[in-house]
Structure 1
Amino acid sequence: METSWFIETLRREGDLLADAAQKAGLDAPVPPCPQWQVRDLLRHTGAVHRWATVFVAEARKDGADWDESAPGDGELADWYRALLTRLADVLAAAPADLDCWYFFAAPSPLVFWSRRQAHEATIHRVDAQTALGAGLSPIDPAFAADGVHELLAGFHGRARSTVRTPEPRTLRVRALDTDADWLVRLSPEPPVVERGAPGPADCTLSGSAAQLYLTLWNRAPYEELSVAGDDALVELWRRTGAIT
């Protein structure tokens, strides 16, 4: 997928997030994040965008301080919009051969940050719209499938993933409205993910790409998905697969 597509998605989803947050009100609870009100959602997502911008704008190869500072309630929505615009503009202006730090495998640092921040904005847009209670804007199936891949192969490909099984097991994740299909090999080591791998699996978890995306990010119930085989593997993922 083109970097420009991720940047356009970031702009759109971030705008939807800010719109929903303003309509919901800063005191509104955020059901997917029980400890948060909408103000916390804006502060968090703005801080993430600001943090990401540092690596891209400065081509930074080492760490950047995490800055949680934010203005008061009256300026919070405009502050978030400004950080969103700054991030998207920096990504759009960055060279294709940008060399900076990033934290799991991707075709390039620029693709990584464009993609990661597009998904960051989308998931938290879902949070803001859930807080508003007015229904969710649709998620493009190809983008949702990309988000599933990022979660499975990116986040859970790292040593910190806690999804482990004592003996080797396999979980297939299948998006029914796209050709996307993943075989997740579980063991005492971090999961190994193969996209489009043939062969049987101990359990298959199926649904639309958007359903899988939201469920695996703990924004929708697992009961909306179809499970075939050993459902204990789905329960294992539900208990241990959350990204915090």
Structure 2
Amino acid sequence: MDPSAYLKAVVEQTSTLADWVHGRDAATPVPTCPKWTLADLVDHVGGTQRMVTMLVSEQMTEPSRAFAGYVPGPADSGQWRDWLSDGAAEARQAFAAVTDDTPVWDPSGGAAGVPFWSRRLLGEACVHRADAAAALGLPYELAPELAVAALDDWLDTMTSRGYWENKPGFADVMRGSGQTLHFHATDAPGEWVARREPDMVVLERTHTEADVVVRGSAVELLLVISRRRPLDAAPTLELQGDRALLDHWIEHMDWVTEG
């Protein structure tokens, strides 16, 4: 997907989320993010989009003012729909005015810039819409190609050098001696192999044998790996190999209130 396709999807996903939360009780708990209410979720989605819009539109190349662009959402949930929709539209406009090689700071440690943020906003919108669905008791559906893109964002960001450097506790528990996990979407092109090395997790987009393999629909893979759905509640996923290795991976992919 190119940045314009990512941002088109961000607008669409955010619009659905905005319709869901409009006028709802701000104190509604979000079970997939146990410390959050619905107001926290709305703040996070809309505030993050506005922060990224500032980074991209001002072409910021260092992070000193990054969080200055974070704006909390309205207290009145009757204003949430417009606030969320406006934030997504502003983000789309900001990305339309730059190119992939426009210098923009990002936290990955790989100087990925504009492509990092376009994919990051899509991952945010898809995963946090699942949080809203859980909070409000609504069904969650996502096109397979979008689920693949969101899962790619999750895995790539969590295994990035920048994330490891900023989360030393996470890095310590995820170190390994070559253990491999293979995630395979069966309804859209998407395969990832994560190899736990002593100094990093190496992520490759390939097909190979692994210590544990998980196959199934892209949306089920996304929900399980992002800890939005327990593995035992996703019976359509096929699991082969070391279940304990997968459980360890999921247990420590704790980005629930940071993603």
TM more than 0.5: yes
- Structure 1 match to 2:191: 181
Contact 1:215 1:222 survives alignment (8 Å): yes
CA drift at 1:108: 5.2
- How many Å separate the matches in 1 of 2:188 and 2:84? 33
Per-residue CA deviation, residues 188-216 of structure 1 (Å, 9 max, x unaligned), is 22210111143x21111222111111111
Which residue of the partner structure matches residue 47 of structure 1? 47
Match of 1:193 among 193, 197, 203: 203
**How far is 1:99 from its partner?**
1.4
Counterpart mapping for 1:2-151 below 5 A = 2-22=2-22, 24-63=24-63, 64-66=66-68, 67-73=70-76, 74-104=78-108, 109-136=113-140, 138-151=141-154
Question: Measured at CA, do residues 165 and 112 of structure 1 come closer, stay the same or move farther in structure 2, by a change above 3 Å?
Answer: closer
Q: CA deviation at 1:143?
A: 1.9
Q: Which runs of 4+ in 1 moved over 6 A?
A: none
Q: Is the 8 A contact 2:123 2:153 kept in 1?
A: no
Equivalent residue number for residue 157 of structure 2: 154
Distance apart, 1:185 and its partner CA: 0.7
CA–CA separation in structure 1 for the residues paired with 2:3 and 2:249: 30
Matched ranges for 1:158-237 at <5 A: 158=161, 159=164, 160=167, 161-162=170-171, 163-198=173-208, 200-223=209-232, 224=234, 225-237=237-249
Deviations 1:28-56 (A, max 9, x none): 22121122221111111111111111110
The 3 A distance-change label for structure 1 pair 121 and 179 is: closer
How far residue 68 of structure 1 moved from its aligned partner, in angstroms, is 4.9
Who is 1:238 aligned against?
250
Summarize the Cα distance change of 1:107–1:13 in structure 2 as closer, same or farther, 3 Å threshold.
farther
Deviation, 1:57, is 0.7
In structure 2, do the counterparts of structure 1 residues 105 and 180 end up closer, same or farther at CA, with 3 Å as the change threshold?
farther
Deviation sequence 1:102-154 (CA, Å, 0-9, x none): 22278952222221111111111111122221211x21212211222222233
Gaps of 5+ in 2: none
CA change 1:96–1:232 in 2 (3 A) is closer
Taking structure 1 as the reference length, the TM-score comes to: 0.89
**By how many angstroms is 1:75 displaced?**
3.5
Aligned residue for 1:79, secondary structure, equals: helix
Give the drift of 1:96. 4.3
> When the two structures are superposed, what TM-score results if normalisation uses the length of structure 2?
0.84
Count of equivalent residues: 242
> Quick check: 1:23–1:132 contact (8 Å CA) kept in 2?
no
Q: Give the SS at the match of 2:204.
A: strand
Q: 1:99 to 1:123 in 2, by over 3 A?
A: same
- Identity across aligned pairs (percent)? 30
- 8 A Cα contact 2:144 2:219, kept in partner: yes
Which whole-Å CA distance do the structure 2 matches of 1:192 and 1:226 have between them? Answer: 23
